[in-house]
Amino acid sequence: MKNISRRNFITKSTATAAAATLGLSFIKGENRIDARFGKGKTFKGGIALSTWDAGVEANDAAMKTMKNGGKAVDMAEEGVKVIEADFRNLSVGLGGLPDREGNTTLDACIMDSIGRAGSVCFLEKIKHPVTVARMVMERTPHVMLVGEGAQKFALSQGMTLDEFKSEEAVKAYKEWLIKSEYKPIINIENHDTIGMVTMDTQGDLAGSCTTSGLAYKMRGRVGDSPIIGSGLYVDNAVGAATGTGLGETVLRSCSAFLIVELMRQGMHPQKACEEAVKRVRDINSFMKEEFQVGLLAVNKKGEIGAYALREGFTYALAKNGENKVYKSDFLIK
């Protein structure tokens, strides 16, 4: 009690003054992190790690961005933008499969190396939701904007409405309408939301995640992808994590945050992903349907983790001059 009321008493300005006395410039993000955790051995060669096969193209763009002087957050944005703009992708961007009412609605988020986060959900007719998420992070006092408000904000920042409808998605929707069965079960192998974690040449971390969510979802449904701590989490002092799969199951287990917290306790990213997948299984054990979840992580040393619930999850890793797709190990064998 005593501590709590005392803490409430300390104003921002006295905290700043105290920090100055101690020589901690914790108001500046990166310094704040160094002050808390000290500089460890960080990998500085640059890393881009992303979900699914298409991640290889996203990684390419991220590494090019880094070579042109971009920071981890620029890598994370530019990387996934390639997939958002690829209208052949049926799970990301405006080419994505629509909701039950025939509208494609987009979710995305981003986190940078100084602890900031931005997110948009249920966004319509905007080509690059990840860029809007970054604008929310950098230009507003908020973390998350949804629906009409998110769209209005995007337009106010110079973005334009894009009426694009993918022929393939429209055709698939028409076929779905015949039975209109609400079965939000993700096909175990064939989905491609992109979650990406990046590390720049300074060893700083960031991440992004972007999706059109589940095909034929209820209107207004939001999954894990734009939710800070579920679809993405970054703590520059520790590591970063992201994932893909049936969002409801990830939301119930806060997977990305869990992975980062496990890494904070010293766990290797691989082990942390394995633990988080087990948690997904356990928390969702009431579910009768089969579902897939795939999780990825990187720590400050540049070590990688990847693990899925079931066979079929792939990821792309760009590191040490290579950029390749790998098959993830999985829990249910």
Q: How many residues does the chain have?
A: 333
- Rounded to a whole number of angstroms, the minimum distance from the CB of residue 192 to ligand SD4 is 6
Residue among 196, 199, 197 nearest 211 (CA):
196
- Rounded to a whole number of angstroms, the minimum distance from the CB of residue 163 to ligand SD4 is 23
CA distance 242 to 194: 9
Candidates 79, 245, 302, 305; binder of ligand SD4 (CB under 6 A) is 245
Residue among 324, 269, 276, 328 nearest 301 (CA):
269
Residues 166-195 that bind ligand SD4 (CB under 6 A): 186, 191-193
- Rounded to a whole number of angstroms, the minimum distance from the CB of residue 251 to ligand SD4 is 8
CA distance 160 to 250: 32
247 binds ligand SD4 (CB under 6 A): yes
CA distance 140 to 144: 10
Alpha helices in 2-89 (DSSP H): 2-9, 12-22, 29-37, 55-67, 72-84
- Rounded to a whole number of angstroms, the minimum distance from the CB of residue 231 to ligand SD4 is 6
- Considering the candidates 51, 65, 105, 193, report the single residue annotated as catalytic: 193
33 and 264 in contact (C-beta within 8 Å)? no
Does 193 qualify as catalytic in the annotation? yes
269 binds ligand SD4 (CB under 6 A): no
Q: Which stretch binds ligand SD4 (CB under 6 A): 166-174, 223-231, 295-303, 304-312?
A: 223-231
Residues 148-167 that bind ligand SD4 (CB under 6 A): none
214 binds ligand SD4 (CB under 6 A): yes
Query: What is the β-pairing status of strands 144-146 and 117-123?
Result: parallel
Nearer to ligand SD4, 70 or 245 (CB): 245
211 binds ligand SD4 (CB under 6 A): yes
- The CA angle 217-160-124, to the nearest 5 degrees, is 10
| Chain residues in the site for ligand SD4 (CB under 6 A) | 91, 186, 191-193, 211, 213-214, 223-225, 244-247
Residues designated as active site: 193
